[in-house]
Amino acid sequence: MSTMVANQKGFGAKIWDYLTTVDHKKIAILYLVAGGFFFLIGGLEALAIRWQLVEPMNDFVSSGFYNELITMHGTTMIFLAAMPLIFAFMNAVVPLQIGARDVAFPFLNSLGFWLFLFGGIMLNVGWFTGGAADAGWTAYAPLSTTSPGEGVDYYVLGLQISGAGTLIGGINFLVTIVNMRAPGMTYMRMPLFTWTAFVASALILFAFPALTVGLFLMMFDRLFDSGFFDPSMGGNSVIWQHLFWIFGHPEVYILVLPAFGIFSEIFSTFSKKRLFGYTAMVFATVLIAFFGFMVWAHHMFTVGLGPAANSIFAVATMAIAVPTGIKIFNWLFTLWGGSITINTPMLWGLGFIPTFTVGGFTGVMLAAAAADFQYHDTYFVVAHFHYVIVGGVVFGLIAGTHYWWPKMFGKVLNDKLGKVTFWLFFTGFHLTFFIQHFLGLMGMPRRYWVYLEDQGLNLGNMISTIGALLMGVGTIVLLYNIVVTSIKGEKVSGDPWDGRTLEWAIPSPPPHYNFKQTPLVRGLDPLWVEKSEGRKGITPAEPLDDIHMPNGSILPFIMSLGLFIAGFGFIYQKYDLSWLIVLFIGMGITLGAMLTRSLKDDLGHHIHKEDLEKEEAGE
Amino acid sequence: MSDHDILNPKEMPHDPEKATLEGKNKFIGFWFFLGGETVLFASLFGTYLALRNSTNNGPSSEDLFGLGLVFIMTMLLLTSSLTSVYAMYHMKNNDFKKMQVWLGITVALGLAFLGCEIYEFYHYIHGYEFTFRSSAFGSAFYTLVGFHGGHVVFGLLWFIALMIRNAKRGLNLYNAPKYYIASLYWHFIDVVWVFIFTVVYLMGVL
Amino acid sequence: MKGWISKLRTLSLFAFMVLILSACGKENLTSLVPKGYGAEQSFNVMIISILVMIIVFVVVMAIYLYVILRFRRKKGQEDDIPKQTEGNKTLETIWTIIPIILLIVIAVPTITATYDLADTSDQEDAININVQGEQFWWHFEYANEGLQASQDLYIPTGEKVYLNMESTDVIHSFWLPSISGKMDVNPENENSMYIEAYEEGVYWGKCTEFCGSSHSLMDFKVIAVSPEEYNQWVEDMKGTSEQSTPETTTAQEGQELFSNNCLQCHATDANQPSAGPNLANFGDRTTIAGVLDYNKEELVNWITNPAEQKPANGMLDAPYLEEGHIGNEEAEKIADYLMQLQPSEITPESAK
Amino acid sequence: MTENNTTDQLDYHKQKKKEEMKQQVITFVLMIVFTIIAFAMVQSDLDALFVIPIILVLAAIQVGFQLYYFMHMSHKGHELPALMFYGGVFTAFLCIIALAVLVWW
Ligand code: HEA
Ligand code: HEA
Ligand code: CUA
Ligand SMILES: [Cu+2]
């Protein structure tokens, strides 16, 4: 078997294998590891933030460093932790759920990952060259365009590179879901995680270009002296805000919709019921995405757009509560009448419902423009978005980690430790962020390096910091769980949860061709359909035959490396034009790799029928 | 059956670009990509519209734009769109030679367009001292039109690479989708130009 | 409309009593105890929306708890297979329609208040103040009187005061939680908002748009006094000039030092514009540079080492810092001079 | 399917493609005409408020021609591309509104 072969290979060969892989399951692991790593970094930054705020006028870090911390915390968490972790599960699960052997563009899939990784590294290089980005994750001009040093340049180029990776990943999943579904897998039979992956990818496709342009303009302003955001040249800094939020608001739904999908799978599996109101769930997902594009200015209520714009955007924003509510109630009614097992993944799901609901409610409160004049840029907003992002996205990702870990690695994470993680993290979370609503209302703006004594903010901040530490402990337990399970955990079957969807119909971890024979899908929750008819496995749609697979390639890695190198050229040419050489070398490497790719036919290889048969007999 | 046989059937099907799964994937994926590109250019157009009067006492669009050259450029690009349609027509008829010839004409027209654009920029920079750094308007103008120009360059390189690469091999089911999406790209460039000449140049002199 | 809003308010005030009594925030800083028109409007919307949220939350949690308690798998039921319900049209309609209605309940007062707060119809006849945000301090120019003031803004109670705000560098945001919500201060255009304080008092204001190293130290105060007191203050301020000599000798020496080192940026004449804060009534400041306690020691610290108190602030460009001829002794003299700049009877004390 | 049949079919398709090509040439001519009209209107002394909407509409029609004829969006199998493309157009519209209208100072 392929995994056996990999085991026999040396360490170097294994690394080479991962550098060149185009297998979506391995790319999923790469995303999981890299995203998890960045989550720890972002979490560490969060802890530093909280530690600075533990008491008034603290001097744990300097103001400049604090600003770098919040900027990098926000940017890292959103772009380098949450997004890639979502991509990890999309890669690990979506092709399996639709009964596909592969994604539509395996090569581009790998390119997407390496672009993200090199972009992420680029973003963090600033730490070592005299200061990371310090203009907030929103990088409002002119603060960002006038920020000295190279920190913001790294932000711009890092995001540009990793953003390209994300866009590529998004297109890959769109096409995979459109074209690669197994026979019988109609759109309205797709599992909800696949649906949300599809919709989130569409959001990526339409939202990221706005960010791309915004970043280009910012790069031109910072590195090539153009005047887009410079009032003294007639520029206008509000353009950046529009571009950023036209991207930024859909981005939050890009994050949360797949998390919704994960919970839909979990609720349905562990209450042993099909999803209540499937059609409405799909419809609500699409509706959220659609509205998501028309509300961006709710981040700009205080910019001075005028009452007409503010009112329109307020109402449009509130409208999103309706489809989201539909989802909440459908989940509750999925549980209703079910046979509910409360294990770790389910526990995260059950923690999610009240938490996200509160976060959504504060969102609607923020949407009331006249009240947002008070909330805006205070800790009330910080509380809101951590409730939805941590309570929605991070809970979802951790739930997904526990749920799909056996599928990805063949072992179940320890349930006891999982529950310990949950309670620590959950308690810590509410301690940290609930109180922040009040801090905000009591007059604490966000992005404050220090707060003054005697302003009634001390106790709240202290509680908040204690909560953050608890979350840290919870995270460490999770890490411990992963280590222990990897060393000692027992191998499990392909279907440890009595699952309902196709990914549970094949061994864990799946062979690299996923399905020996393409499955025939005969209804929603296809595996459940088969089980309820007394069959063990899924009905195949075709006789056993040769399987066509793509070849691995190092080119994606090289292309991304080239852009990474070029990034330095872009930045440092502002001091010394001889750095242009680096730019050209980098671009040359990338273009060369692209040319190689297009000139060399790559037709993939076949796994022969005979080998598959032998394998079967061997089992 | 080896890949070679699959990709070079005796009879080419009448939609060679979509005959294989890879082809279908490319075809759909590329259209989706164009959807994203639309947003990209819209953001640039929006920025241009927001800044087109921010001339910072430098030259304004009325001072700069002359319609003659733009008209010629438009004709060149529109015609090149038609010639690439001819190329695709011959591709579908499995007439590789004619396809290459028409693509060659397309590339020639594209190069002529590019030449005009370079001349135009040169003229603005040296004749009017109107640069990327003159004003927010200058930045927005060169960025929007330059992004389009960059697309033209990329499209031309893409065509040329395909033509050279496949000159000896002829058409097959592996490269037909590549030709097809390259031509889609070329049309999209034309779509963007239609808006550029309307919004930037025509509205700029009004 | 007004009627039921105020009823709601009484009700909610009761509910919030607990919170407020347990000192939810510092007086004149917290937005939970509104003392001005804008803050009150926002507060009403906040209350309406939070009531709606509480109602929905109760419903959601009721179902949630019922479901978890009732439908947990029990021993001996491991093999039970629940009914695979597909959905329910009636239920789905209910939870689509009811939220829509609830949202309308929030949206209507939101829109009313949003328009109300943006109303500028009586701007011409009102007091207009040009507000300038700068890294990291605030400047206020009384447009009608041509008066300059910094850090502390005096306004009359019970009147709409219009603020026309623009920044000279990056974006700031003007927030006065107890009196009014915030408005951004942009570099490329002027934003207008009005504030109206109901009671006399010294209100804390903060910069809420991330603007750099000392963003968290860009506080200001609004001192609301009675209209009569306000008029007197204006008159007094008009009378300030650089010529007036202080009484004590140290302060006179301080004045000398001040003119040589500081006057290039500051002014002690409220009729004069200046690059740095106007110090004409510095003796009546509530704080130094917006955040430091007002006393001589802090002031000397500030003059000798402004970088320590407020990273990257504009005074770090002062040439005397390089030249190093202002030590503690000189700074104390300057402090004596500055602290006796009390041109008016009307001080923060009057607002209490 | 017999040999004969396939050749027939091929002929049929060839024929169809030819007709289509004719259509495309007509489209092309129309596009040229529209362009000339647009340029001419701008050169004339007509009021800008009158000309701008018209040239924008002309541009939109031209783009429709490109999409539906040159890029074959009128053909079968283009439902999803059309959906996604119009998704892009929708977002594009919002971007332009945002930047052209909401940045009014
Ligand atoms: C995953 C991320 C995520 C999600 C899902 C959301 C969801 C929502 N957000 Fe949030 N938001 C952020 C992430 C997210 N947000 C971030 C990161 C920021 C700050 C960015 C920055 O400035 O740095 C932000 C900021 C932000 C603002 C700007 C605040 C400010 O800066 O002043 C606003 C204003 O309208 C807002 C509103 C909303 C609304 C209405 C929703 C809705 O989608 C919520 C809908 C859900 C519900 C309402 C709950 C369930 C519904 C029911 C049970 C039905 C019944 C309900 C009713 C009748 C009300 N958000
Ligand atoms: C996905 C998004 C995401 C996530 C998950 C988080 C998670 C957390 N965030 Fe944050 N946050 C943002 C997105 C996110 N955040 C954004 C966008 C901003 C705005 C930035 C800006 O203003 O520009 C922000 C801002 C922000 C602030 C406001 C700063 C300010 O305005 O001054 C605070 C303050 O409390 C905060 C705290 C936290 C905490 C305590 C967590 C916790 O949940 C973190 C929990 C995780 C851990 C505690 C990990 C522990 C790590 C270890 C134990 C390390 C082990 C080490 C190794 C093995 C190397 N975040
Ligand atoms: Cu000024 Cu923050
Ligand atoms: Cu938003």
For residue A462, the model assigns a pLDDT of 95
Overall residue count recorded for chain C in this entry: 352
Question: Does the structure show a pLDDT above 60 at A105?
Answer: yes
Quick one: which H or E segment has residue A365?
Answer: helix A344-367
* CB A239, CB A303: distance < 8 Å: no
- How large is the average pLDDT for residues C157-165? 95
pLDDT classification of C159: cutoffs 50, 70, 90:
very high
User: How does the average pLDDT of chain C come out, rounded?
Assistant: 90
Q: Could you tell me where the DSSP H helices lie in C130-275? A: 227-238, 249-261
Using CA atoms, how far apart are residues C173 and C185, in angstroms rounded to an integer? 5
pLDDT greater than 80 at residue B13:
no
Choose, out of D83, D94, D104, D105, the residue to mutate when testing the contact with A (most A CBs < 10 Å).
Answer: D94
Work out the minimum CA distance from A171 to partner chain D, whole angstroms. Answer: 11
Average pLDDT over chain B, rounded to an integer: 90
> Residues of A with CB below 8 A from B162's CB?
598
- Pick the range with the lowest mean pLDDT from A97-111, B102-116, B179-193, D48-62: D48-62
In this prediction, residue D101 has a pLDDT band, given cuts at 50, 70 and 90, of confident
CB contact under 8 A, A358 and C57: yes
Partner-chain contact A242 D99, CB within 8 Å: yes
CA distance A614 to A213: 53
pLDDT at C13: 57
Distance CA(C60)–CA(A329), nearest Å, equals: 8
Give pLDDT, residue A160.
97
Q: What's the average model confidence in pLDDT over A349-367?
A: 97
C-alpha to C-alpha distances, A37 to A46, A164, A393, A418, D4, nearest whole angstrom: 14, 21, 17, 19, 64
Domain residues of chain A, as ranges? 2-553+602-617
pLDDT tens figures, A210-255: 999 999 999 999 999 999 999 999 999 999 999 999 999 999 999 9
Kindly report which listed range (A192-206, A393-407, A524-538, C73-87) carries the lowest average pLDDT score.
C73-87
The answer to whether the peptide bond before residue C136 is cis (omega within 30 degrees of 0) is yes
Q: pLDDT tens digits, residue range A473-488?
A: 999 999 999 999 999 8
In C, minimum Cα distance to A373 occurs at C181
Q: How far is CA D53 from the centre of its chain?
A: 18
DSSP-assigned beta bridge partners for residue C140: C131, C149
Average pLDDT of span C272-301: 93
- The alpha carbon dihedral of A114, A118, A124, A128 has a sign of positive
Kindly give the distance from the C-alpha atom of residue A550 to the centroid of ligand 1, in angstroms, as a whole number: 42
Q: pLDDT value at position C194? A: 95
* Interchain pair A297, D91: CB under 8 A: no
- pLDDT tens-digit map of C266-281: 999 999 999 999 999 9
Q: What is the mean pLDDT of chain A?
A: 94
Q: How far is A256 from chain D (nearest CA, A)?
A: 20
Average pLDDT over residues B197-202: 92
Outline where DSSP puts E strands in A251-310: none
For chain C, domain boundaries:
241-347
What is the pLDDT, as a whole number, of residue A370? 95
% pLDDT > 70, chain D: 88
Rounded distance, CA C26 to CA A456, Å?
Answer: 5
Q: How confident is the model at residue A1, as a pLDDT?
A: 37
Contact between chains at B85 and D81 (C-beta distance less than 8 A)? no
Q: Which of A111, A160, A168, A226 to mutate to test the interface with B (most CBs of B within 10 A)?
A: A226
Ligand nearest to the CA of C182: 1
Neighbours of C93 (CB within 10 A): 10
pLDDT tens by residue, C178-221: 999 999 999 988 999 999 999 999 999 999 999 999 999 999 99
Q: Is the CB of A382 under 6 A from ligand 2?
A: yes
CB-based contacts of C62: which residues, under 8 Å, 6+ apart? none
Which residues does C170 contact at the CB level (< 8 Å), separation at least 6?
A140, A142, A143, A146, C135, C187, C211, C212
Q: Nearest Cβ partner of A246 from D87, D95, D103?
A: D95
Entry pTM: 0.95
Contacts of A420 (CB under 8 A, 6+ apart): A474, A477
Q: Is C241-347 in CATH node 2.60.40.420?
A: yes
Q: Contact D48/B206, CB-based, under 8 Å? A: yes
Helix (H, G, I), strand (E, B) or coil at C318: coil
**For helices A106-125 and A555-572, what crossing angle results, to 10°?**
30
- Cross-chain residue pair A374–C46, CB shorter than 8 Å: yes
CA distances from A178 to A185, A199, C263 (A): 11, 12, 71
> Smallest Cβ distance to D84: which of B35, B47, B78?
B35
Tokens of C267: 């002014």
Query: A302: Cβ–Cβ under 8 A, 6 or more apart, which residues?
Result: A372, A373, A376, A377, C173, C181, C182, C183, C184
Looking at residue A6, its pLDDT comes to 46
Q: Which residues line ligand 1 (CB under 6 A)?
A: A 138, 252, 255-256, 298-299, 317, 320-321, 324-325, 328, 357, 360-361, 363-364, 366-367, 372, 375-376, 381, 384-385, 388-389, 392-393; C 56, 60, 99, 102-103
Of the candidates C232, C237, C226, the one whose C-alpha atom is nearest the C-alpha of residue C351 is: C226
**Min distance D99 CA to chain A CA atoms (Å):** 6
Phi, psi at A137, each rounded to 5°: -70, -20
Confidence of residue A5 (pLDDT cuts 50, 70, 90): very low
Measure in Å the smallest separation between the Cα of D63 and chain A Cα atoms.
20
Choose the closest CB to C64 out of A332, A371, A373: A332
Q: Phi and psi dihedrals of A86, rounded to 5? A: -65, -45
Q: What is the ipTM of this complex?
A: 0.93
Fold annotation for A2-553+602-617: Cytochrome C Oxidase; Chain A (1.20.210)
Domains by residue range for chain B, with CATH:
16-205 (1.20.120.80)
pLDDT confidence band for D6 (50 / 70 / 90): low
Collapse the DSSP code of C212 into the 3-class scheme (helix H, G, I; strand E, B; otherwise coil) and give the result: coil
* Cβ–ligand 3 contact at C211 (below 6 Å): yes
Q: Measured in angstroms, how far is the CA atom of residue A288 from the centroid of ligand 1?
A: 12
Say whether pLDDT at A506 is over 80: yes
- Residue A435 Cα to ligand 2 middle (Å): 16
End-to-end CA separation in angstroms for chain B: 64
Q: Give the nearest partner residue to B198 out of D6, D38, D99, using CB atoms.
A: D38
pLDDT value of residue B10: 67
If one compares B100 and D74, the residue with the highest pLDDT of the two is B100
Q: Which residues of C touch A456 (CB under 8 A)?
A: 23-26, 29-30
Structure tokens at C37: 């028109």
